[in-house]
Structure formats: C-alpha cells, structure tokens
C-alpha cells in the first residue's frame, strides 16, 4: 500500500499523546495522588500532540469541509468511532490539565478500604480509558481490512497500543527529567520495559507476515481453474488509481531496509538511551523510528486486488 504521510503522523502523534497521558496517570497512581503544575503541563503537552494529530488527519481527506460527516456511522465504521473518540479525549485532557493547573482536588469516590479517589485522578483514569479505547479504534481501522493480510489480525491493535505506550512513557520520562520530577526514574524504567515489549510484539508481527500465505490466488480472482494462468495486459497503458494506491514506492528492498532501521532506531536504541539516562534523546530517536515503522506497516501491506494488476501494458 502507498504510505499516507498524514496517517503516519496522525497515528504516531496521537499514540505518543495517549501514551503520555496514561504515563502521567500511572505516575499519579504510583506517587499516590498529587496534583499541580507537573501534571497540568504534561496534560497540555498530550493535548498538543493530540491536536497536532488531528491537524495531520485533515490532510488525509480530499474534502475536509465535510469531515464532520465522518462521525455519523459509528455503528459500523471504526474510522467513524475514531473520529468521535479523538475530540472526546481532547476534551477530557483539557479538563485534566485545567483541574491540575488549579490544583482543585476534591474527593470524588471513597473506596471500601478507606482509600479515596480525587477529581484529578478520576479524570486521569477516565482519560486513560478513553485513550485505550482510541488505541483499539485506531488499530481496528487497519485490522478490519480483511483484504490486506498483513494488517488483518489482532496484532495490529496490540502493536498500536504497545508502540503508543512505549513512546508515551519515554516522552513522560524525558519530560519528568526536564522538570526534575521525582517520577523520572519510575517513568524511565516503565518506558524501557514497554519499549522492549513493543519490540517483541512488532517483531512477532514481522515474522507472522513473512511466513503467512495469501488466501486468494489468480485462480479464484478470475474464476479460471487452470494451473498456469498469467496476465497478458491490464487493459490500459498508463497508470490508474489501482496501480498507484495499492503499491508501495521503493519496493521490497526499501521495506526490508527500513524494517531493520525501525527495529534498531525505534526500539533497541531508545531502550539503551533510556538505560543510559538520556530520555530526551531516547524519545527523539524513538519517534523517528516509529515514523519509519508506520511507513513500513503501510508499505508491507499487500492488497488482494493486486492480483488483477500483475502485468503492465
């Protein structure tokens, strides 16, 4: 498939934003509540990433002025569900940041064992839930395309979640270190674990895609039951939507090379940099790696319809 840069930036940016938000909430739980400028500024950073993602997504549409219509089919379309959930999450994060900025922390829920949940934490947990749901929506947009076998599995959702968490926690660690916050160690440790876990699940998907078999053949595509069929012509001389949209520029060599690149730069190097106590550098390195990862994810998808476009001329 032809990689769409708008979608590459959308998914990596909101992934990091969602991960950052979950990291902040995890930090809040770990440190036992608390409020203030650290969380407010972190929330604002997450909100900025989400909004940048929204801006990137608009470039994917040919008619963005009708974008609002994309929220109408939430019953059947994962894309529609994402379109609804993203602004909802933005709203929650805005509230989260504002409440933290004012340091307003009334107790909302009193648990049976005497523990309490204050408003900032409840908002953090709500935003975490929305973030997780958004990860599922974003992943399912690709996982439900049955005709691209590289995408059509639960591993797509798992990887979107894992990479979002890894980059978000790395960003949180970098942010905590810059702010000289006590949570820096906890966040950096979690980021290393999540990055390595993301490496494992993504590497598994690479292996799974490399060994899988396509479900359709030219035989079933044109319904001709002969053991030797070859296409003589596509019926036209130039290119068409079908020969451009479903083909990755650069070919298999580029995909292979970039796969090695993103495994090293997106996962291995950031984990090493985090362990070396350089979380800012780790995040920058990881983000570049994840951009390459998303490019490969698109480019490695081979669509069933390509069966009809095997010979040029």
Partner 1 sequence: MSKKQLALVIDLNVCVGCHACVTSCKEWNTSGWAGPLPDLNPYGADPNGVFFNRVQTYECGTFPDTETIHFPKSCLHCEEPPCVPVCPTGASYKREEDGIVLVDYDKCIGCKYCSWSCPYGAREFDPVQGVMKKCTLCVDRIYDKTLEEDRRKPACVLACPASARIFGDINDPNSEAAKAIRDNGGFQLMPEWGSKPANHYLPRRKTTTTLHPDELVRVDNPLKAEGEKPRPAFTTPTIDGASSW
CB of 129 to partner 1, least distance (A): 22
Could you tell me the CA-to-CA distances from 63 to 54, 66, 70 in Å, in that order? 15, 6, 11
Among positions 22, 86, 97, 141, the unique one binding partner 1 when judged by CB under 8 A:
141
Among positions 33, 60, 88, 153, the unique one binding partner 1 when judged by CB under 8 A:
60
CB of 136 to partner 1, least distance (A): 16
CB of 218 to partner 1, least distance (A): 8
**Is 213 an interacting residue with respect to partner 1 (CB under 8 A)?**
no
- Count of alpha carbons within 13 Å of 74, Cβ hemisphere only? 10
**Is 210 an interacting residue with respect to partner 1 (CB under 8 A)?**
no
- Among candidate residues 107, 106, 126, the one with its CA nearest the CA of residue 116: 107
**Is 234 an interacting residue with respect to partner 1 (CB under 8 A)?**
yes
How far apart are the C-alpha atoms of 197 and 161, rounded to whole Å? Answer: 11
CB of 140 to partner 1, least distance (A): 11
8 A C-beta contact, residue 242 and residue 309: yes
Query: In DSSP terms, which residues pair with 176 in a beta bridge?
Result: none
In the bound state with partner 1, the residue whose beta carbon lies nearer, of 113 and 233, is 233
| 214 CB burial (10 A radius; 0-12, 13-18, 19+) | exposed
**Is 247 an interacting residue with respect to partner 1 (CB under 8 A)?**
no
CB of 292 to partner 1, least distance (A): 22
**Is 232 an interacting residue with respect to partner 1 (CB under 8 A)?**
yes
8 A C-beta contact, residue 121 and residue 35: no
The torsion angles phi and psi of 303, rounded to 5 degrees, stand at: -85, 145
Q: What would the two tokens of residue 252 be?
A: 């298999």
x-marked contacts with partner 1 along 61-80 as a string, rule CB under 8 A:
xxxx-xx-xxxxx--xxxxx
Q: What would the two tokens of residue 241 be?
A: 């939507």
Piece of 102-110, 163-171, 228-236, 251-259 that binds partner 1 (CB under 8 A): 228-236
How far apart are the C-alpha atoms of 236 and 137, rounded to whole Å? Answer: 38
CB of 295 to partner 1, least distance (A): 17
The torsion angles phi and psi of 241, rounded to 5 degrees, stand at: -55, -40
**Is 223 an interacting residue with respect to partner 1 (CB under 8 A)?**
yes
8 A C-beta contact, residue 78 and residue 48: no
| Residues numbered 149-208 forming contacts with partner 1, rule: CB under 8 A | none
CB of 25 to partner 1, least distance (A): 29
List of residues contacting partner 1 (CB under 8 A): 1, 60-64, 66-67, 69-73, 76-80, 83, 141, 144-148, 215-216, 218, 220-224, 226, 228-242, 244-246, 303-306, 308-309
């Amino acid at each position: 498939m032809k990689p769409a840069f708008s979608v590459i930036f959308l998914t990596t940016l909101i992934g990091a934003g969602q991960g950052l938000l979950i990291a902040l909430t995890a930090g809040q739980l770990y440190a036992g509540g608390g409020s203030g400028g650290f969380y407010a500024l972190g929330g604002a950073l997450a909100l900025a990433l989400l909004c940048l993602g929204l801006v990137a997504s608009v470039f994917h549409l040919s008619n963005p002025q009708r974008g609002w219509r994309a929220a109408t089919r939430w019953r059947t379309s994962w894309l529609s569900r994402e379109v609804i959930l993203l602004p909802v999450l933005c709203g929650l994060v805005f509230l989260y940041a504002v409440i933290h900025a004012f340091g307003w922390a009334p107790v909302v829920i009193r648990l049976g064992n005497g523990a309490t949940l204050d408003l900032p934490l409840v908002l953090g947990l709500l935003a975490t839930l929305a973030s997780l749901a958004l990860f599922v929506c974003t992943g399912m947009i690709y996982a439900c395309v049955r005709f691209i076998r590289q995408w059509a599995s639960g591993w797509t959702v798992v990887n979107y979640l894992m990479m979002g968490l890894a980059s978000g926690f790395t960003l949180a660690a970098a942010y905590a270190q810059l702010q000289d916050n006590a949570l820096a160690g906890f966040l950096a440790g979690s980021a290393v674990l999540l990055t390595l876990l993301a490496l494992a699940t993504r590497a598994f998907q690479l292996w799974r895609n490399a060994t899988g078999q396509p479900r359709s053949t030219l035989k079933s595509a044109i319904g001709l039951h002969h053991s030797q069929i070859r296409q003589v012509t596509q019926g036209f001389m130039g290119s068409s939507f079908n020969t451009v949209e479903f083909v990755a520029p650069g070919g298999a060599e580029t995909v292979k090379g970039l796969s090695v690149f993103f495994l090293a730069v997106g996962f291995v190097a950031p984990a090493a940099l985090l362990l070396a106590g350089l979380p800012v550098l780790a995040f920058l390195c990881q983000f570049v790696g994840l951009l390459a990862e998303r490019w490969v994810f698109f480019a490695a998808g081979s669509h069933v319809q390509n069966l009809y476009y095997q010979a040029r001329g």
